[in-house]
A and B are shown apart, each in its own frame.
Chain A
Amino acid sequence: MAEHTIKAFDEEIDRLRGLIAEMGGRAEAAIENAMLALQRQDKTLAARVVADDKRIDAIEAEVEKLVIQVIALRAPMANDLRDVIAALKIVSVVERIGDYAKNIAKRVPLIATNTRTLEPIALLPSMGQVAGEMVHDALNAFAARDADLALAVIERDTVVDDFYNSVFRTLVTFMVENPKTISECAHLLFVAKNIERIGDHATNVAEMVYYAATGQTLPERERGADLQPED
């Protein structure tokens, strides 16, 4: 894309993109590390995920400040306007994604050390991986203004939802058969729910990216996020 006549405007837009790329990278790492900590019962790693979340919060604040400044001083129009508004909305969603990862990490010490024997825990890493990739791709789509990649993220939301439904059923069955594990399994259920919410949020980001890139809003789609009552 051609450069702005006013160079400082380009620099601000670049800085905005840089901050969002960093934030995305950190959110993705937080998800990955939280899942790893859970699997390995690694309390140190879990504590680091919690501590690192502060930087994600700080980036959100920085982006907010920068967006307000750009709107006030540059009066962005058209695709520039869509970009900065998307940036503002995306950081608030990614901040939430960071919180979900943090929430998973906080549960690690609460799940007893014998969790390793809990079969259902084996389902969670691949679910976490899909959600993490969705976050990664949604933010890459923003950086590249890639509407097709955004669409591909949106399509993957149902994969995470399906995972969640299957984890839910597995955990419920497991709890019925092993009542002593109910406390741990309840935590795992929340972990699964957190991952499912991460997938939803990545999908929201992808929708914003699609709008920023094309100027078109996507038609309202089926949201299969939550468990159906009959499940």
Chain B
Amino acid sequence: MTPMTEEQTNLTIDNPKMSARDVKVFYGEKQAIKGVSIDVGMDHVTAFIGPSGCGKSTFLRTLNRMNDTVASARVEGEITLDGENIYAPSMDVVQLRARVGMVFQKPNPFPKSIYENIAYGPRIHGLAASKADMDVIVEKSLRRAGLWDEVKDRLHDSGTALSGGQQQRLCIGRAIAVEPEVILMDEPCSALDPIATAKIEELIHELRGRYAIVIVTHNMQQAARVSQRTAFFHLGDLVEYGVTSDIFTNPRQERTKDYITGRYG
């Protein structure tokens, strides 16, 4: 048997949209991320996989400084967006989070109308000069989120009245509405049934190329289905990063192999 000695992978890619270099994250004394370097690009969907508690969400949140909201969290290392350090004092965090949007595990629409859920972001970012502008943005965002046809006749119903899958697409529409460059998704389908999940996966497929998409998933089949590059995390390390089809057919690292073949723990 050929030993798996080759150095894990290409952590770097051509034309990265975001690059992390030696990123460490601490919650108080506890280190959750142990020096991770990785590039993510526009041309593909990147999946983060790994066992629960390995630090996927923690690392994902460093990419739009969501950890800033956790009092005990401390981030070291460098993360750039288009070459610009997002942890630089000059970085406007509100602006950053518009450029790097996030979709969470549990759909969390505001308790407002469908229309308002989409319009909220563009309004605070001053993207619409008029009601007509806003109508255009709302329709475009809902279309891109694959939800327009289902809700166009009830835009003023409450967002929370939608089904779980529709709520999640509404949240994706909300992220899209502020014209982000990167969309981070943290287990966006784990609260959804298989059909709603398939619709989100199809949506991710359609959004690919327009935005750099990073998805955390504990569902390996999902990572295999939606992503072109996969990163495997384990105990705060990035163990392996590579082309998804390679990771799932011929992983280089023993730890990756054990995890994806169901031999973990």
Contact of B260 among A3, A6, A78, A214 (CB under 8 A): A78
Q: Which residues of A contact B224 (CB under 8 A)?
A: 77
| A214, B257: Cβ atoms closer than 8 Å | no
Question: Is A79 located at the chain interface by the 8 A CB criterion?
Answer: yes
| B1, A4: Cβ atoms closer than 8 Å | no
User: Which residues of chain A (201-218) have a CB below 8 Å from chain B?
Assistant: 213-216
| B257, A4: Cβ atoms closer than 8 Å | no
Question: Is B220 located at the chain interface by the 8 A CB criterion?
Answer: yes
| A4, B263: Cβ atoms closer than 8 Å | yes
| A5, B2: Cβ atoms closer than 8 Å | no
Question: Is B250 located at the chain interface by the 8 A CB criterion?
Answer: yes
Question: Is B251 located at the chain interface by the 8 A CB criterion?
Answer: yes
Q: Which residues of A contact B251 (CB under 8 A)?
A: 78
A75–B256 CA distance with the chains assembled, in angstroms: 16
A78–B249 CA distance with the chains assembled, in angstroms: 4
| A9, B249: Cβ atoms closer than 8 Å | no
| A5, B263: Cβ atoms closer than 8 Å | yes
| B258, A77: Cβ atoms closer than 8 Å | no
Q: Which residues of B contact A80 (CB under 8 A)?
A: 261-262
| A76, B261: Cβ atoms closer than 8 Å | yes
| A215, B249: Cβ atoms closer than 8 Å | yes
A80–B249 CA distance with the chains assembled, in angstroms: 9
Question: Is A176 located at the chain interface by the 8 A CB criterion?
Answer: no
| A4, B249: Cβ atoms closer than 8 Å | no
Question: Looking across the interface, which residue of chain B has its beta carbon closest to that of A210?
Answer: B2
Q: Which residues of B contact A198 (CB under 8 A)?
A: none
Question: Looking across the interface, which residue of chain A has its beta carbon closest to that of B256?
Answer: A78
Task: Encode A159-202 as 1/0 by CB contact (under 8 A) with B.
Answer: 00000000000000000000000000000000000000000000
A100–B262 CA distance with the chains assembled, in angstroms: 40
User: Which residues of chain A (1-19) have a CB below 8 Å from chain B?
Assistant: 1-6, 9
A182–B131 CA distance with the chains assembled, in angstroms: 96
User: Which residues of chain B (152-169) have a CB below 8 Å from chain A?
Assistant: none
Q: Which residues of B contact A2 (CB under 8 A)?
A: 258, 263
| B260, A77: Cβ atoms closer than 8 Å | yes
Question: Is A81 located at the chain interface by the 8 A CB criterion?
Answer: yes
CB distance from A82 to the nearest CB of B (A): 7
Contact of B262 among A9, A146, A147 (CB under 8 A): A9
Q: Which residues of B contact A107 (CB under 8 A)?
A: none
| A1, B263: Cβ atoms closer than 8 Å | yes
| A214, B1: Cβ atoms closer than 8 Å | yes
Q: Which residues of B contact A79 (CB under 8 A)?
A: 257, 261
| A213, B1: Cβ atoms closer than 8 Å | yes
Question: Is A145 located at the chain interface by the 8 A CB criterion?
Answer: yes
CB distance from B125 to the nearest CB of A (A): 42
Q: Which residues of A contact B1 (CB under 8 A)?
A: 145-147, 213-214
Contact of A3 among B248, B249, B263 (CB under 8 A): B263
User: Which residues of chain B (219-265) have a CB below 8 Å from chain A?
Assistant: 220-221, 224, 248-251, 256-258, 260-265
Interface residues of A (CB under 8 A from B): 1-6, 9, 74-82, 145-147, 213-216
26 contacting pairs across A/B (C-beta < 8 A): A1-B263, A2-B258, A3-B263, A4-B262, A4-B263, A5-B264, A9-B262, A74-B262, A77-B248, A77-B249, A77-B261, A78-B248, A78-B249, A78-B250, A78-B257, A78-B260, A81-B248, A82-B249, A82-B250, A147-B2, A213-B1, A213-B2, A214-B2, A215-B2, A215-B249, A216-B250
**A2-B263, A78-B256, A147-B2 known; 10 other A-B pairs, CB under 8 Å?**
A5-B265, A6-B262, A9-B262, A77-B220, A77-B262, A78-B250, A78-B251, A79-B261, A213-B1, A215-B250
The list of the 5 closest CB pairs from A to B, nearest first, reads A215-B250, A214-B2, A2-B263, A77-B260, A80-B261
